[in-house]
């Protein structure tokens, strides 16, 4: 028994050594495991080309500089598809028209499984936001559709505009703002309003705390927390505490509503009226809040930035909103009431069907400033994409930059130009996938578009603005989206800002 006793003695010695020693030992063990599990792949005749070198060196770049890493992979292999390993997980990266069409239409490629392993930024609570039964996932999708019905959205319009007014008033009459701070805070508020309940959305301090917790989930998402979540790193502990706190906030709001007996006109009430089990209600709010806020927030930040640097499109968009007000018999010059009150009189049908300029601005912003990398897992059986074998259980990645930044499809692809011709996405081999494609499109796009239009309209009518550099001078060149920032496409903090001044109109 000497071997067993030796292990036991070593364990006791380690536990008595203190947290620093335990943590250091854990890190050493982690990298030892990486070196064992990650190995150079052997390519079969139909397999995608493997990246040169040991696959352990792919882990950090994939999570930290994904855009550069994927582009390097295509260049290093000289192929339209390549593979590498994340520990024991095979990841295949594909590109090109044929691969894009198959990727977005193949039934065996599962979105949920792919996102869970390769992203890891959504708060994971077993049975609430992860490891959900198919029936429960379908129910959440059904409830999201209900939250975007015409009647519900129409009722929501004036409340969202009131949130915009309150938060924009806090900006003061002039100044310089970082859109990735102030505009994102605004989008987070409107998303909480649209997808949760008044118990949370009516409390600015609670909304700010909730945003801070989700920010911790973002900063706590590291290669280790995604690939070896059982390893007690400081980042993993931060994620666990933040997830628990988010869960507590949501469940407390649900309990307060149920105990009060008060019936309110919000999304939580819709969920409770549906007699859904509590885990479904909690999962709906926890998961969709941050999924909606991140995507819509990134787009809103860049719309404000692009319009600040392209006054011609700013003028066109503002004129379109003013025309909507005139159609509602509420021209800016004649009516003295607040902007938010005037915009609230515009019917939902007009926001959705009479704003071609805003639609083109949103579309172009999604093309050039949404750093998405679509992720799927092949649930089986093995399949082929563009002649390359995808084994069962392998992960498949498609970078949106392959199509959205392709100069053959979009000449001068980094240029912001909402006037680009729009073709049928299906007929042109999914040449635009800003809202997804095929069988996996964004289920919350109706709400997302409305949020973007309301926020943009309030900003255009309430403020004049332009882009300045870090020293406060007019920016030249204008900021360029950073696709290595997988959340916001954000340039270096402090490199630019939006200089604004309130118009004479009352918010």
The reported pLDDT for the residue numbered 1 is 37
Sheet holding 496-502, edge to edge: 174-177, 496-502, 463-469
Q: Are 303 and 456 in contact (CB under 8 A)?
A: yes
Residue 316 belongs to a domain: yes
Residue 101 belongs to a domain: no
Residue reference for tokens 């402090």? 494
Average pLDDT over residues 154-180: 98
**For residue 308, how far is the Cα from the chain centroid?**
23
Assess whether 158 and 76 both reside in one domain. no
Assess whether 77 and 141 both reside in one domain. no
* Domain count within the chain: 2
Least confident of 8-22, 394-408, 420-434, 464-478: 8-22
CATH of the domain at 293: 1.10.630.10
Assess whether 173 and 45 both reside in one domain. no
Question: Is the model's pLDDT at 457 over the cut of 80?
Answer: yes
Assess whether 155 and 261 both reside in one domain. yes
Classify strands 496-502 and 463-469 as parallel, antiparallel or unpaired.
antiparallel
Assess whether 67 and 161 both reside in one domain. no
Residue 474 has φ and ψ, to the nearest 5°, of -50, 130
Q: How far is CA 117 from CA 57, 120, 292, 484, in A?
A: 18, 6, 20, 19
Q: How far apart are CA 431 and CA 437, in angstroms?
A: 10
Q: How far apart are CA 264 and CA 252, in angstroms?
A: 16
Assess whether 67 and 168 both reside in one domain. no
To the nearest whole number, what is the mean pLDDT of the chain?
87
The reported pLDDT for the residue numbered 21 is 45
**Sign of the torsion angle spanned by Cα atoms 99, 104, 105, 106:** positive
Question: Is the model's pLDDT at 101 over the cut of 50?
Answer: yes
Least confident of 162-171, 229-238, 320-329: 229-238
The reported pLDDT for the residue numbered 125 is 55
Higher pLDDT, 441 or 450: 450
pLDDT for 195-235, tens place per residue? 999 999 999 999 999 999 999 888 877 787 777 877 888 88
The confidence band for 118, taking pLDDT boundaries of 50, 70 and 90, is low
Residue 124 belongs to a domain: no
Domain span at residue 73 reads 2-85
The confidence band for 14, taking pLDDT boundaries of 50, 70 and 90, is very low
Assess whether 76 and 157 both reside in one domain. no
The reported pLDDT for the residue numbered 139 is 87
Closest by CA position to 284, among listed 132, 129, 148, 138: 129
Residue 109 belongs to a domain: no
Q: How far apart are CA 155 and CA 500, in angstroms?
A: 31
Q: Are 383 and 47 in contact (CB under 8 A)?
A: no
Closest by CA position to 154, among listed 405, 446, 507: 446
The confidence band for 31, taking pLDDT boundaries of 50, 70 and 90, is low
Residue 105 belongs to a domain: no
Q: How far apart are CA 272 and CA 254, in angstroms?
A: 9
Q: Which two tokens stand for residue 97?
A: 């028209």
The reported pLDDT for the residue numbered 6 is 38
Transcribe 218-267 into DSSP letters. HHT--HHHHH-TTS--HHHHHHHHHHHHHHHHHHHHHHHHHHH----SSH
Helix, strand, coil % over all residues of the chain, rounded to 5:
55, 10, 35
Assess whether 55 and 171 both reside in one domain. no
Q: Is 197 annotated for ligand binding?
A: no
Assess whether 57 and 140 both reside in one domain. no
Q: Which two tokens stand for residue 208?
A: 């700010």
Q: How far apart are CA 452 and CA 441, in angstroms?
A: 18
Helix or strand or coil: residue 176?
Answer: strand
Assess whether 72 and 139 both reside in one domain. no
Residue 462 belongs to a domain: yes
Question: Is the model's pLDDT at 176 over the cut of 60?
Answer: yes
pTM: 0.89
Percent of the chain with pLDDT over 90: 68
Q: How far is CA 385 from CA 104, 189, 393, in A?
A: 11, 41, 15
Assess whether 151 and 63 both reside in one domain. no
């Amino acid at each position: 028994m000497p071997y067993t006793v030796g292990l036991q003695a070593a364990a006791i010695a380690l536990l008595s050594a203190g947290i620093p020693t335990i943590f250091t030992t854990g890190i050493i063990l982690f990298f030892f495991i990486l070196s064992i599990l990650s190995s150079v792949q052997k390519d079969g005749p139909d397999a995608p080309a493997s990246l040169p070198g040991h696959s352990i060196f792919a882990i950090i770049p994939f999570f930290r500089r994904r855009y550069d890493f994927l582009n390097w992979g295509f260049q290093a292999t000289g192929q339209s598809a390549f593979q590498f390993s994340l520990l024991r997980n095979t990841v295949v990266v594909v590109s090109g028209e044929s691969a894009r069409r198959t990727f977005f239409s193949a039934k065996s490629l599962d979105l949920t499984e792919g996102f869970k392993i390769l992203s890891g930024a959504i708060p994971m609570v077993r049975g609430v936001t992860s490891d959900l039964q198919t029936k429960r996932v379908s129910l959440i999708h059904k409830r999201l559709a209900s939250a975007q019905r015409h009647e519900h959205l129409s009722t929501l319009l004036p409340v969202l505009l009131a949130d915009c007014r309150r938060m924009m008033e806090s900006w003061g009459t002039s100044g310089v703002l970082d859109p990735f701070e102030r505009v994102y805070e605004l989008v987070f508020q409107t998303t909480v309003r649209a997808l949760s309940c008044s118990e949370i959305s009516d409390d600015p301090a609670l909304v700010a705390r909730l945003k801070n917790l989700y920010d911790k989930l973002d900063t706590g998402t590291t290669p280790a927390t995604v690939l070896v979540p059982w390893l007690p790193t400081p980042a993993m502990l931060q994620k666990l505490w933040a997830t628990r706190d988010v869960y507590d906030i949501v469940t407390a709001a649900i309990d307060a509503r149920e105990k009060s007996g008060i019936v309110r006109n919000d999304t939580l009430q819709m969920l409770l009226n549906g007699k859904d089990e509590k885990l479904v209600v909690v999962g709906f709010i926890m998961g969709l809040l941050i999924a909606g806020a991140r995507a819509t927030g990134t787009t809103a930040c860049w719309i404000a930035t692009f319009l600040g640097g392209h006054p011609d499109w700013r003028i066109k968009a503002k004129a379109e909103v003013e025309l909507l007000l005139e159609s509602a018999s509420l021209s800016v010059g004649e009516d003295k009431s607040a902007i938010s009150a005037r915009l609230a009189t515009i019917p939902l049908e007009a926001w959705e069907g009479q704003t071609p300029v805003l639609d083109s601005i949103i579309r172009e912003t999604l093309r050039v400033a949404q750093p998405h990398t679509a992720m799927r897992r092949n649930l089986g059986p093995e399949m082929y994409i563009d002649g390359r074998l995808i084994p069962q259980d392998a992960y498949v990645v498609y970078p949106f930059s392959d199509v959205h930044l392709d100069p053959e499809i979009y000449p001068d692809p980094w240029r912001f130009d909402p006037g680009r011709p729009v073709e049928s996405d299906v007929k042109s081999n999914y040449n635009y996938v800003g809202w997804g494609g095929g069988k996996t499109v964004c289920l919350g796009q109706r709400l997302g578009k409305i949020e973007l239009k309301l926020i943009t309209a309030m900003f255009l009518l309430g403020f004049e603005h332009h882009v300045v550099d870090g020293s406060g001078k007019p920016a030249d060149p204008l900021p360029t989206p950073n696709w290595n920032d997988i959340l916001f496409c954000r340039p270096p903090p402090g490199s630019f800002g939006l200089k604004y001044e309130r118009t004479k109109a009352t918010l």
